C-alpha cells in the first residue's frame, strides 16, 4: 500500500503506511529505506539521512540506502560524506547510475572548491603550514601531499571529476612549493599577498562603516575590481 502511494507521488500518505510497516517489523532494512525515499522526495533531508542510517544498521550493504543518503549529503554540500556513500554503493552496484552519481558529486565538490579559491593564495596554508615555516618543513609537507595527490596516484580513480580534483590540488601544492623555495618568487608573492590581505581588511572596514573609504596605499587596482592581471 505504501509503495503504491509512493508511485502515485502521494509521499505524505506513503509515510503513514511505512511507519506502520516499521512498527510491525523494526528490523527491516527495506522499510526504513522506503520511508527514507519518501522523506527524500518531500525534501526532508535530515529525516532521510536518519532512516538510511537505520536501514544500514539492519543491512550495512543495502545499496538503496547508501545511494539515498549520498544524495542527501550532496544536496547539503557534505561532499566527503556523500563520496564515501557513493563509493560504498559502487561495491554492491557498479551501475552507470551509481558512477554518474559519484561523478556528479565530485563535480559539485570541484565547483565549490574552485569558486572559493582566493585570487591570491596563502601558499603556507596550501601546504598545511604556519607562516614562516622553514625549508625543511616545506619540503616535508610537499612530499607528503605530493604522494597523496600526484596524478599518477589517482590514475585508477573511480571517475573523471575525482581525477580533475586531484590534479587541481596537486597543481596548487607544486606551485606553493616552487614559490616558497625560490627567494625572489617568495618575495614577490609576499608583497602581493600582503596587498591582498590589506585590501580584504579595507573592504571589511568599509562595509561595516557604511560606505567606501580610500583604499590602503599600494593596493593594486585589480584586487579592488576583480580584474585579472
The reply to whether 2 and 107 lie within a common domain is: yes
Instruction: Tell me the per-residue pLDDT of 152-175, one tens digit each, with 9 for 90 and over.
Output: 766 555 567 777 778 888 889 999
In a domain, 217, yes or no: no
Average per-residue pLDDT for the chain:
85
Same domain, 82 and 2: yes
- 73 HSE (CA, 13 A, CB side): 25
In this model, does residue 228 exceed pLDDT 60? no
The per-residue pLDDT for 224 is: 35
Write down the pTM of the prediction.
0.64
Distance (Å, whole) CA 121 – CA 175: 10
> Is residue 228 in a domain?
no
Average pLDDT (9-26) is 96
Residue 12 within a domain: yes
Could you read off the pLDDT of 37-62 as tens digits, one per residue?
999 999 999 999 999 999 999 999 99
Radius of gyration for the alpha carbons in the chain, expressed in angstroms and rounded: 24
First-to-final CA distance of the chain: 63
**Number of domains forming the structure of the chain:** 2
Amino acid at each position: 500500500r505504501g509503495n503504491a502511494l509512493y508511485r502515485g507521488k502521494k509521499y505524505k500518505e506513503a509515510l503513514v503506511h511505512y511507519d506502520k510497516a516499521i512498527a510491525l517489523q523494526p528490523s527491516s532494512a527495506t522499510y526504513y529505506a522506503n520511508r527514507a525515499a519518501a522523506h527524500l522526495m518531500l525534501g526532508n533531508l535530515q529525516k532521510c539521512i536518519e532512516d538510511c542510517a537505520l536501514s544500514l544498521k539492519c543491512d550495512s550493504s543495502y545499496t538503496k540506502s547508501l545511494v539515498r543518503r549520498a544524495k542527501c549529503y550532496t544536496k547539503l554540500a557534505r561532499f566527503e560524506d556523500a563520496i564515501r556513500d557513493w563509493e560504498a554503493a559502487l561495491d554492491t552496484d557498479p551501475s552507470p547510475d551509481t558512477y554518474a552519481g559519484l561523478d556528479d558529486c565530485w563535480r559539485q565538490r570541484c565547483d565549490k572548491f574552485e569558486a572559493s579559491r582566493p585570487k591570491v593564495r596563502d601558499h603556507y596554508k596550501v601546504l598545511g603550514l604556519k607562516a614562516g615555516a622553514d625549508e625543511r618543513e616545506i619540503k616535508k609537507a610537499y612530499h607528503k601531499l605530493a604522494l597523496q595527490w600526484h596524478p599518477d596516484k589517482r590514475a585508477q580513480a573511480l571517475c573523471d571529476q575525482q581525477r580533475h580534483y586531484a590534479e587541481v590540488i596537486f597543481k596548487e601544492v607544486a606551485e606553493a612549493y616552487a614559490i616558497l623555495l625560490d627567494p625572489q618568487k617568495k618575495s614577490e608573492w609576499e608583497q602581493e599577498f600582503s596587498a591582498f590581505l590589506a585590501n580584504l581588511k579595507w573592504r571589511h572596514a568599509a562595509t561595516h562603516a557604511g560606505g567606501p573609504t580610500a583604499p590602503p596605499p599600494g593596493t593594486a587596482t585589480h584586487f579592488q575590481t576583480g580584474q585579472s592581471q
